[in-house]
Amino acid sequence: MTKIIDFQTDPSKYRHWRVEYDGPVANLYMDVDENGGLFDGYQLKLNSYDLGVDIELADVVQRMRFEHPEVKVVVMRSGKDKVFCAGANIRMLGGAAHSHKVNFCKFTNETRNTFEAAEADSGQKYIAAVKGACAGGGYELALACNHIMLTDDATSSVALPEVPLLAVLPGTGGLTRVTDKRKVRRDLADIFCSTEEGVKGKRAVDWRLVDEVIPNSKFDETVQERAREFAAASTKADVAEGIKLGPLDKTVGDDGSVTYSLVEVAVDRDGRTATITLHGPDGDAPADMDAFTAEGDRAYMLRLARELDDAILHLRLNEMELGLLIFRAQGDPEAFGAHEALLLGNKDHWLANEVLQYWKRILKRIDVTSRSMAALVEHGSCFTGILAEILWAVDRSYMMEDEFEGDNRPLATVTLTDANFGPFPMGNGLTRLQTRFLDDDAALEAAAGRKGEALEAEDADALGLVTMILDDIDWEDEIRIFAEERASFSPDAMTGMEANLRFAGPETMETRIFGRLTAWQNWIFNRPNAVGPDGALQRYGTGVRGDYKMERV
């Protein structure tokens, strides 16, 4: 049986990271256990990482938001001598299946984006304190920080050596962040990304690859001084105590089904389909944010978010051949609206903000999931506000029209709220409705004019909020035909088509990272120059360069 990758962990289980908290400053040490690889067959030498290392990092970043809101500055540093991080482990990349490599890169991208946005979203600024070699994915860790400090000595440098050494690209936004974020001049970036040994000292500052370079004798002192300066200048409100994130209620069945307290994942292997059912509130909305905080990680909106996030990651990495994800939501839409309204009405409260920002990240995770996706707005549905965003993240949505024989649930509705008009932008900087109605202000205004109404099928269809409305006669046949057709197409063609269609509108650094870069990386990871028996990834460390086919394509 294939090993199931578990994305849930906690500090008691960490093998690769440790955190020392000092009031508003947290020192985050990357100290990878070289014998702690997620799979057999490689050692994580020189602070190199695999998916297991990054799962822990994602957990650290998440807990920093919820469990340690007192933190205003996070200093990311190495727990090893003479190396910051050597990047993604080459042996792991060389031996991993193509699908694992690509999904690994996607998850690392999402994790980098999360701590990169922590200052804007949560008031937590990340500093990379680079001492020693910082190469490839290691430099990409630093690039996602808000401020990079480099030791000025003979062994400390930053590098993106993937092209000359491995015949692949930096997989976690390195090329894009160098130009779009660090504003490195294109010709200098060309030299930098073609040079194995990297850049050090004053040149790294002059080329904008780092923010400051510090003499080795003063480095540790200056890093802490800078962290205290940034913390003192922070406008983040002081929060005395966070909430604990406990383990999820989760059961994985022998048939591949996954059951949580509020989310169910049903698997149809023959149809290559997974159906994700989200359940509405199992209790009344808390009276205020004090009551919400007292509920902690059991609060409905946070619990649902955590379970949905885990379900998406589980399907991505553990169920590679389930090509169609179908979303359902069942529950009382008014009850859900009350829970949502508490958060939207208290956005200045630290915990309300963190839960809303978490939902923003989850919706973005759905946007970039490389599966065909559909939503079924059935009778008894709960597609309201935040959950209605899923309707415009997926590729198609089908809605029940009028009564169905033998179905006594309330008629299917879609309800728009303030959540659909600003708080949850896509990677392109637009809301999902703005993306759906690109340059159609009239359609957007018409939708906004119906906020707060429980829209039945005919109205939802007229407003363009769903793809198709179906009555009792056609529902089952149309859904079956759609699912069978989708399963018959080439998964490669589907991934390409869907990724192109989902991101209309402007290109941003984020869409470039997930779209252009990962598309090129996906292609390169299939090419013999990189992964063939004589390719650079297979020959790395042997002293023999890859044998390249030299035609340009």
Residues 215-255: tens digit of each pLDDT:
999 999 999 999 999 999 999 999 989 999 999 999 999 99
Whether the pLDDT of residue 418 is over 90: the answer is yes
CATH superfamily of 251-496: 2-enoyl-CoA Hydratase; Chain A, domain 1 (3.90.226.10)
Band (pLDDT 50/70/90 cuts) for residue 387 is: very high
Q: Are 13 and 52 in contact (CB under 8 A)?
A: no
Give me the pLDDT at residue 337, please.
Answer: 98
Spatial CB neighbours of 408, under 8 Å, sequence gap ≥ 6:
none
DSSP state of 390: H
**Structural domain boundaries of the chain?**
15-233, 251-496
Specify the CATH class of 15-233 in words.
alpha beta
What distance, in Å, lies between the first and last C-alpha atoms of the chain? Answer: 39
Nearest to 151 by CA among 101, 204, 114, 95: 204
Give me the pLDDT at residue 243, please.
Answer: 98
Please state, in angstroms and rounded to a whole number, the distance separating the CA atoms of residues 505 and 439.
9
Q: Provide the 3-class DSSP secondary structure of residue 422.
A: coil
Nearest to 512 by CA among 379, 384, 318, 368: 368
Give me the pLDDT at residue 553, please.
Answer: 83
Band (pLDDT 50/70/90 cuts) for residue 522 is: confident
Whether the pLDDT of residue 361 is over 90: the answer is yes
Give me the pLDDT at residue 329, please.
Answer: 98
| Beta strand residue intervals within 363-517, DSSP E | 372-377, 383-384, 396-400, 414-415, 454-455, 468-470
Band (pLDDT 50/70/90 cuts) for residue 516 is: confident
Band (pLDDT 50/70/90 cuts) for residue 515 is: confident
Spatial CB neighbours of 345, under 8 Å, sequence gap ≥ 6:
none
Give me the pLDDT at residue 477, please.
Answer: 97
Count CB neighbours of 5 within 10 A: 18
User: What would the mean pLDDT of 480-501 be, rounded to a whole number?
Assistant: 92
Band (pLDDT 50/70/90 cuts) for residue 117 is: very high
Give me the pLDDT at residue 1, please.
Answer: 41
% of the chain with per-residue pLDDT over 70: 100
Give me the pLDDT at residue 20, please.
Answer: 98
Nearest to 314 by CA among 278, 355, 269, 276: 276
Q: Hey, do 15-233 and 251-496 end up sharing a CATH topology, with the first three levels equal?
A: yes
Whether the pLDDT of residue 290 is over 90: the answer is yes
Give me the pLDDT at residue 476, please.
Answer: 97
Please report where in the chains the tokens 């922070």 appear, as a residue: 234
7: number of CA atoms within 13 Å, CB side? Answer: 19
Band (pLDDT 50/70/90 cuts) for residue 370 is: very high
Whether the pLDDT of residue 363 is over 90: the answer is yes
User: What would the mean pLDDT of 392-421 be, rounded to a whole number?
Assistant: 97
For residue 473, report the phi and psi dihedrals to the nearest 5 degrees.
Answer: -70, -40
pTM summary value: 0.97
User: What would the mean pLDDT of 414-425 be, rounded to a whole number?
Assistant: 98
Give me the pLDDT at residue 301, please.
Answer: 98
